Structure 1
Amino acid sequence: MINIVFLLLIFFLITAQIAPPAPFAVTPPAANSAAAENSDGPLILHLDAAGTPGFVSPEGPANGDAALAALAAARAACPDCTLTLRADRAAPARTLAALLPRLTAMGFAQVDLATRAATP
């Protein structure tokens, strides 16, 4: 009986998809729509309150221009993957506006912005 329990434990540990940790903490902006609480796609770009991008690739976390280079490499490896942008609510809008053309140049036609539900 104990063998079966250990086999099941090993099976669930091997088949579980463990998400990599975020490169830094992000507080998403609030949204008043039913689409709030978005689910993340396979590629997730983080933007901290100072406007620094971060990306976690299989090689490890990267920040700044290295994060965008790692994202471009991940995009080349997975051209059909969608991008989710987890921007901090305090991130400057100017930085976000400057980031979008760079993401378009990488080949992302759509960027999903992760939000949280607004509290009344």
Structure 2
Amino acid sequence: MPELKKQSQVPSQEDFARAKSKSRQFDEIAGRVREAVLDEFRERAPISSVWLFPGQDGDLNGYVFYFATSDVADSLESGLSDEIEKALVRKSKELIGSGCSVIFDSHESVVRKCNGNYFQYLR
């Protein structure tokens, strides 16, 4: 019976370089999605920030943060959040080729829950 060689589980330098390149490409395109949506809604929506991350299923996970918690409820009620979500999905499909699920919250909420630390909030 032939002996099977065990493949190394340690990524090579080339593996790391490929992953870094792919991450940079994603960041660049996600930045274009984010800027396009912010430009479209800058005058109409009280958006503090937009964050995009690759999801497990190939789609994006988007987080839209309004300035105040009351802005979240107002935008949901007025339909503005639906418009923002549709714009994120449209731009994501156009530039990345995948959809986008969107969560709405507020900067005020991040300050209250995580002392303003978005990294802690998003993990």
Do the structures match in fold with TM over 0.5?
A: no
Higher relative CO (CA 8 A, sep ≥ 6), structure 1 or 2? Answer: 1
| Bigger Rg over Cα | 2
More helix by percentage: 2
